[in-house]
A and B are shown apart, each in its own frame.
Chain A
Amino acid sequence: MSLAARALGALAPHAFPIGLAAATFVLASGYATGDPDTYWHLASGQWMLDHRELLRTDIFSSTVPGKPYALGEWLGEIALTLVFNAGGWTALVAFRALLAAVASFFLGRVSRAMGAPVVAALVVVVWTIALAKTRWTDRPAIFGLVLFVVVLDLLFHARAGSRRALFALPPLVLLWANLHGSYPLGIGLVLAFSLEAVLVRRADAPRFLAALVACIVLSFLDPDTLGIGGAASHAFTPPRFISEEAPPDVLTPAGLIFAAYVLASLGFALVVGGILLEALLVIPLLWLGLSAQRQLGFFVFAATPFLAAAVAQILFRRRRAFRPWPPAAAGALAVVLSVVAIASVVTVPSIPDETGYPTGALAAVRSGSGTLLNEYDWGGYLIYRAPERKVFVDGRLFLYLPRVLADWDNAVQLRPDWREILRRYDIAEILLRPSRPLVVALREEGWRVRAEGANFVLLARP
């Protein structure tokens, strides 16, 4: 057997996850950066790199200057900034695609963890990736998505007897705790597997419990030690006016895929039953997914192996065992797909998509003075593109809760106290969407139009 054939044969067992990863890379590298939070994460990361210290208080707003805020994403921000500094927007997109590909690789492995054949796993996992695509943003949150799947994969391996997989968990949780605030989900996964071990597979219980304790202890080794409380309260009382924090709408494309997973979980459980681990994983994560659409991915990831196994049992049980591809063919396919993925780097967008932002107002914003009241969704963009001006609010949500955000909403919606709010904050300019009631009222009151476009208007006090 030639060396090439041996190499392809070695690749064959991983051909399915490699193929998924390659396809995901192509998919995730095809669209430009456009998330408003990306900008303030980059600005925060750059500040930390410049000053060689953690950014512990607000420096970007006019409303809460100096106010302390959570540090749970410091490492994620620095990582994104380093990537950006190395290769600009192109590198950021390629990095996002790489992370998404890693997630898909492990998702491919997870999808077969309950014994599903490749075809059944593929039927389910393509929809999982389609839904996950909505969460591939250029923020530290993407580290959470990747680590969730990696930890899940390790846990399935540990459940199958791998001790190395268990040892890898605590360092990963430590890393996760410093990359993004979603790390309690990782601990939750370990807890679910530990509970199953305690209740069903008692011989494994000590090892899983030890891993659980180690994960919990190490999760405290971050600058935001008690951040878990904040993250938990956030899940219980999500701010509904932010679209990604709203409950999922099953009549939207992403919501429909989510609903399909929910209904399939119910339907397959009724038809073929399940195991305790499925209940321990799927039910809490379903609650999380129903609580806010930004959390849909976690439920879908966790449900994937169980649904794939059920699909195999229902749809493919009458067929004979699938004949596996020849190892060389499977390995070759993985290689070809990987080459295509690498080649797709040349198509990565090199500039961000800023069509949703007030690009036409930037010059006027920079040259203006006084306190600016801005659209919530544009805060991050302004922090990065117009650092000369402090923002009123931005995507760092918790900084502004409850008072500033309530004042912002009351002013923008033209509630009875809007004049008092504008006076109290000494607002000199507003940069909002033209449809806002405040814009309509101020125009009629003679505020000066300094810049205007189809989706924005910059008004200055006369």
Chain B
Amino acid sequence: MTARSFGVPLLIGAAAAFIATRAPASDSDLFWHLAVGRDIAATGLARVDHFSWSVPGHTVLTDQWLGELALYVAYTLGGWLGVVVLRGIAVTTLAAAIAYAAVREVPQRPLLATLVAIPAIALSSYLWTDRPELFGVACFAILIVLLRTVSAGDLRAMAVLPALLVIWANLHGSAMLGLALVLVVCAETFRRIPARRRALGVTALLAVVATLATPAGLASWRTGGLFFAPPRFIQEWSVPDVATVPGMLFAVSFFGTIFVAIYARGGLREAALLVPVAFVSLVAARFTPLFAIAATPYLAANLPVVIAQLRASLRPPISRSRRSSALEMAASLLALAVLLAGFFTAPRAPAIDAFPIGALPLLPAGPGLLNRYDWGGFLIWYAPATPVFVDGRLSPYLDGALDDYRAVIGLHADWREVMTRRGIRTLLVAPTDAIAVHAHDLGWRTIATAPNWVLVAVP
């Protein structure tokens, strides 16, 4: 690792951030994350729900508290622009880490490294949202860099790992994946490098402890349960689909890795890292970028070997970089300029046209509103006097509220019983939802409507 390796990754990170900061804040989940962050800043960490009327007092996860606080602090400091700037910083970290992992493997071939990193960065763009999840993905990219160093027996990287996991575990629940990878890689390195066995054992132990050093404690480990029983009806939890653009990018990365492995191999060392991440990526669409990120340094390191084998004349160059420090400095300064340009030209207002803005002044205060799942976070932030029925926090609603929501909005056979039992008095749904169509047929009073929403009074 040399200081000269940072110029190109920083430039790539800044370019990614410039692209990322073109979009205004618009993610539905951002709003409830902000509301949680605001409450943490004001009154401390809340462990029970107080945003909904369907599960009030239900235990809520606290595994993202630091990420939520960071989002709220950014919002407090810079408004919606602050949120976008924070997104830009996280994307810079993520893309630069991916690129750095590639460049470090072939420092003499920055162009090749960049080309190899592009699919992973492009695929990660589907996670460039204003949620703590983005911080988790950035941590994952850093972890990959560290794990490859750890598997070479580097003591400094082993020392840094637990610190990364402590931060990650408080930013987002995906730290459990990080812990699993740390344990697998430590076990494989333990087998291969006897001289580092004690250090690896201590690292693994500290990694476990690090993931427990959160307000959620042991509960943070239970968040992994959703991984094995994902709610498939939520798009980001759906099965990876290679007929979509992100699915194709994943396929390119996956097939490219198999192809390179057939020629260049990589041993148990690479398999220990890539095979578990491959399984995670196959589980749900939201995880597909992880494999692409993890495979990038492997591809960068071994693509020259494959090209050499295929062409039978080339050999992977072994000369070190001849680029000057001045060039590295220039690249770093250019990266800073691109980053600042992105921040200064980023949108300063959120894009909330897709949400039921016009319904806000008409919403009744207190419980009784059944809202669309996608709009829950928006309502938590913009209509705090009207508690929601469901929102993107998902886990509090898995004990029955989500089933009731689906029964009503999808007009299941028991929809009337659910309406009565829950005491639903108002509907805020899409005009194409079955309940909206049926309510119209039944002659229920439409309080207000727009092309993408309708507010209906239940008689």
Contact = CB atoms under 8 A, between A and B. Distances in A.
B278 interface: yes
A273 to B, nearest CB: 5
Contact of B242 (A247, A250, A440): A247
Interface in A147-175: none
A337 interface: no
Contacts of A287: 242, 251, 255
A249 B239 contact: yes
A275 B265 CA distance: 11
Given A259-B279, A290-B242, A269 B410 contact: no
A291 interface: yes
Contacts of A274: 261-263
Interface stretch (B49-57, B139-147, B215-223, B269-277): B269-277
Nearest to B227: A251
Interface stretch (B3-11, B86-94, B125-133, B430-438): B430-438
Contact of A271 (B271, B432, B440, B441): B271
A414 interface: yes
Given A249-B232, A259-B279, A416-B432, A272 B242 contact: no
A249 B230 CA distance: 11
Interface string B203-246: 00000000000000000000000001110100000011111000
Nearest to A440: B411
A415 interface: yes
B275 A266 contact: yes
B175 to A, nearest CB: 22
Given A246-B239, A271-B265, A291-B242, A266 B278 contact: yes
Interface in A436-460: 437, 439-441, 444-445
A135 B29 CA distance: 40
B364 interface: no
Contact of A265 (B230, B240, B258, B267): B258
B411 A441 contact: yes
A251 B410 CA distance: 26
A444 B441 CA distance: 10
For the residues of A in contact with B, the DSSP-based class is helix
Interface in A386-433: 413-416, 418
Interface in A343-369: none
Contacts of A275: 262
Given A251-B283, A287-B255, A440-B413, A269 B265 contact: yes
A75 B44 CA distance: 72
Nearest to B407: A435
Interface in A284-299: 286-287, 290-291
Contact of B274 (A251, A270, A273, A435): A270
A237 B243 contact: yes
Nearest to A252: B239
B262 A269 contact: yes
Contacts of A237: 243
Contacts of A262: 278, 282
Given A259-B279, A262-B278, A437-B410, A270 B438 contact: no
A242 interface: no
Interface string B262-304: 1111111011001100110011000000000000000000000
Contacts of B344: none
Interface string A222-248: 000000000000001110100000111
B332 interface: no
Top-7 shortest CB links A-B: A269-B261, A274-B262, A437-B411, A437-B434, A414-B434, A270-B271, A270-B266
Given A247-B241, A291-B243, A437-B410, 5 more contacts: A250-B279, A263-B279, A266-B261, A287-B242, A415-B437
